[in-house]
A and B are shown apart, each in its own frame.
Chain A
């Protein structure tokens, strides 16, 4: 199985400051069709997860533009340009290239 490794696992941030989460996969996530199926999900406290980013860098509808995704191959990053209070929660990367699909361990974002 593809192992997804996130860092850090805990991320205290100051409101209005940037935040960055790294996600590394144990093998390349480039699929045979040329796409890279790397997603980012946000899970706010007490809520179901929701997808923020798909195929590395595409924001889902309704996702604020302060969220951005980047990366390639095995190395990916989720960035929040200016953290707001509503961004508190756990963030997961997930690969959808290889079966079984696998998630990272999650990164807990909290306000300092």
Chain B
């Protein structure tokens, strides 16, 4: 059974940085593409970033391009999201997602 556990969220000031992690289990992580998807409080879903199974193909939403970096370590069954130059509008629950399974999310709050 797919298990995805995010960590690393928290309160950060505008302009600050955070690194989110996602620990995967229950499936062969290295066989699957992964995504980060976020949901601002009381709002809908926004896809943030995609990484292929090998890490060779990466895409970002325009809203985060140049500020966020997705990566993965297949040996550690882990997915990461390095978030720099954070803005108030980045405040959201961030989900690590394989389309057939999502984590519980980690809350990122950007506020002074």
Name A residues whose Cβ lies closer than 8 Å to a Cβ of B.
1, 39, 41, 43, 48-51, 54, 60-61, 90, 92, 94, 96, 99-106
Contact = CB atoms under 8 A, between A and B. Distances in A.
B105 to A, nearest CB: 6
A61 B95 CA distance: 21
Contacts of B99: 39, 51, 54, 96
B31 interface: no
Contacts, number: 44
Interface of B: 35, 44-47, 50, 59-62, 95, 99-105
A12 to B, nearest CB: 19
8 contacts: A41-B45, A43-B45, A48-B103, A48-B104, A49-B45, A50-B101, A100-B61, A101-B35
Given A48-B105, A100-B61, A105 B100 contact: no
